[in-house]
Chains A and B, each alone.
Chain A
Amino acid sequence: MVKIKNPLLISWILLGIVFVGSVLLGRYPSPGFVSPGANNNDPLLMSLITNLRLPRIISAVLLGITLSLAGLVMQTVFHNPLVDPGFLGVSQGAAFGAALAIIFGGTLGLLVQGSAILFGLLGLGLSFWISKKIRFGGKILKLILAGLAVSALFSAGVGILKYIADPLSELPEIVFWLLGGLWSIQWKDIYLLLPVVFGGIVFIYFYRWRLNILSLGEDVAFSLGVNQGRETTLAIIIAVIITACMVSISGIVSWIGLVVPNVARILTGADTAKSVPVTIALGGIFALLCDDLARTLLAGEIPLSIFTALFGAVIFIFIISYKKRGLE
């Protein structure tokens, strides 16, 4: 464990600082930060901040929180710190749904988002259904195997769709969606998703201590009066629904859900009562910083996953080498 006094307080203060900094950061009037006082004199800047930057910043924070929390929940219930929130066929299912809508749906408003959510949940449902058909192994192993198979099926489907997509109009859109990004966010997207996503986050927050029990053995949980099977299923469904909702507007954003909970655990220890609040703050910070780079580094938009994967992988390498040192 890295010795940082009160990681909870520090991570939340940091989130506040990054949030304010992000509001002031942009490419208008010139690339960089604007001073807080300048807003009043420039109506265009004001409208830019309230109509474009704020919804985008809020959605980046929500995306980071959602993916990291869902990752923490999945890692806990699958007894495996290397699990990612989308691995039960959810990410690939959502990707397939989005690609399908891009090719066959035309330009109908929320069709891509809706289709992504639908197929993400279908991926989860399929994984559960197939896991019940497997005749060997424990509950966890069955779900992991089924999730692998379903992900492979959908990713083959995505491959087919990319192959038949119009290389000039549809293919770039699919590729951009697969790399994720928040460039198209508007307030109405946030209003639409907030009740579900916020509800899921609040649920996990208040459930945070009991979540520990899902990482123990089934019989031990039983002796503690916990129906582990039922609560595990509930936790997975909540984690997946909020993930699918956020992914439907952001596209596939990789690594956040894997890396952030591991960093939080290094700071707070394994107890989920302590790691959940820090995971929330760190997830928000990580996604927001990556999105700041994605929107300001170049004149054009850079896909979000390029940064989340780059920094995520660097942090991941640090974690695994750090853990090795810890064992010596």
Chain B
Amino acid sequence: MTVPENPIFILSKVFFQYPDTTSWILKDYSIRFPRSSITAILGINGSGKSTLLKLLLGALKPEKGSIIFSDNARKKHNGLIAFLPQVEYLAFDYSVEEYILLGRVPHVDFWGTPSLDDLSKVQKIINELNLKKIRNNKITHLSGGEFQKVRLGRALVQEPTVLLLDEPTTHLDLNSKKNILDLLSSLKKKGVTVILTSHDPTEASLIADYFVMMRKGNLPIYGAPEDVFTAINLSKTYNMKLNVISLHEKKIVING
């Protein structure tokens, strides 16, 4: 099994459970997450995919063990890890521009308002993500695909080194999915580390360089696709008989 050199996250013997529960969500996890690549976290509902993301983010603390985040580029850790939760409820109807601008919070003083530099960075992201036409639209008037892009924009304008995405392509149509996946691949080329959860192993295998398969209460399966993306491992992960077939150099996971 290939072990990533110079990993961005190092988990050592991590245990985690939520308060008032009796079973471990993560039990003895020791994983190294590769830098500047795309890692896909797979697993059934309730296997702890979102929990793992929040542990990496630092919003949850492990009960035992340690999680080390190492960033070579900058010393200040503020805002280096961007996070997109699975669903995001907004009580107030921001415009696309206003909402993306909120990603600049780590770069603005406590008492301050965004500078011209912050605004121009927002414009840059808006151009890059092709959001120019909808920049003044209200968030509630966006389609699911547009909103997902806008949320990604907010995360990118933060200038993170790590992007944690909880099911970024769920509920999107095929075209929007492809847009998001292409975007993530291009981010990887710029050196951003992308870690996402997915319910679709076929789709995840299109872009992922590394897999973490979570099995509740058991040790995870992790490694490069050629090592771990197999019918046996996927069947173990999803508790059902699965097969992997190859088609035009792509791997497709099917029932049976």
Contacts and interface: CB of A to CB of B under 8 A. Distances in A.
A225 interface: yes
A215 B113 contact: no
Given A215-B92, A220-B88, A225 B78 contact: yes
Contacts of A207: 110-111
A81 B57 contact: no
Contacts of A80: 91
A79 B92 CA distance: 8
B94 A222 contact: no
A269 interface: yes
Interface string B81-101: 111110011111111001000
Contacts of A271: 94-95, 98
Nearest to B105: A224
Interface string B19-55: 0000000000000000000000000000000000010
Interface string A209-238: 110110111111011111000000000000
Contact of A219 (B85, B91, B108): B85
Contacts of A270: 92-95, 98
A219 B83 contact: yes
Contacts of B77: 225
Interface residues of B, number: 35
A195 B114 CA distance: 28
B106 interface: yes
B102 interface: yes
A interface bracket (residues with beta carbon within 8 Å of B): 20 to 34
Contacts of A209: 108, 112-114
B92 A222 contact: no
A300 B82 CA distance: 61
Nearest to A275: B92
Contacts of B83: 219-220, 222-223
A76 B102 CA distance: 15
Nearest to A222: B59
A81 B105 contact: no
A218 B111 CA distance: 20
A215 B98 CA distance: 13
B223 interface: no
Given A223-B82, A223-B155, 19 more contacts: A76-B91, A80-B91, A81-B92, A208-B113, A212-B94, A213-B102, A215-B90, A215-B91, A217-B85, A217-B88, A222-B59, A223-B158, A224-B103, A224-B105, A224-B106, A270-B92, A270-B93, A270-B94, A273-B113
26 contacts: A79-B89, A79-B91, A207-B110, A209-B112, A210-B110, A212-B94, A212-B102, A215-B92, A216-B90, A216-B102, A217-B89, A220-B85, A223-B81, A223-B82, A223-B155, A223-B158, A224-B102, A224-B105, A224-B106, A224-B158, A225-B105, A265-B92, A269-B94, A269-B98, A270-B95, A271-B94
Interface of B: 54, 57-59, 77-79, 81-85, 88-95, 98, 102-103, 105-106, 108, 110-114, 155, 158, 160, 164
Interface of A: 76, 79-81, 206-210, 212-213, 215-220, 222-226, 265, 269-271, 273
Q: Closest 5 interchain pairs by CB? A: A270-B92, A79-B91, A225-B78, A223-B83, A224-B105
